[in-house]
Amino acid sequence: MGGAIGVAIVFRLIASSPGLDTTLLTIVITGLVAALTVGGKAVGKGIALNEATEVMLRIGQIVAWVEKLTGQELFSTKGKR
């Protein structure tokens, strides 16, 4: 998903400013997308490790809300051992 957004940004910038160096622009945008992806993963991992109980509680609340909203049971334990 991040790569597709990066490509869209590059195309938009090239379309609006034809004189830009496309190779350099592509490298810079790709680097930014990669840095944000890795950085976001690191932050998320830190939160997950430090707040595991809170994260699981919130996920459970979201799943319960979705099940109530849709009337569908997402995680059934019927018939499982």
pLDDT recorded at residue 81? 59
Neighbouring C-beta atoms of residue 54, cutoff 10 Å: 11
Burial (CB count within 10 angstroms: exposed 0-12, middle 13-18, buried 19+), residue 14: middle
**How many whole angstroms separate alpha carbon 52 and alpha carbon 63?**
16
More confident residue, 7 or 32: 32
d(CA 53, CA 32): 32
The whole-number pLDDT of residue 80 equals 60
- Give the largest Cα separation in the chain, rounded: 64
pLDDT in tens, 18-69: 888 888 888 999 899 999 999 999 999 988 899 999 999 999 999 999 999 9
pTM of the model: 0.56
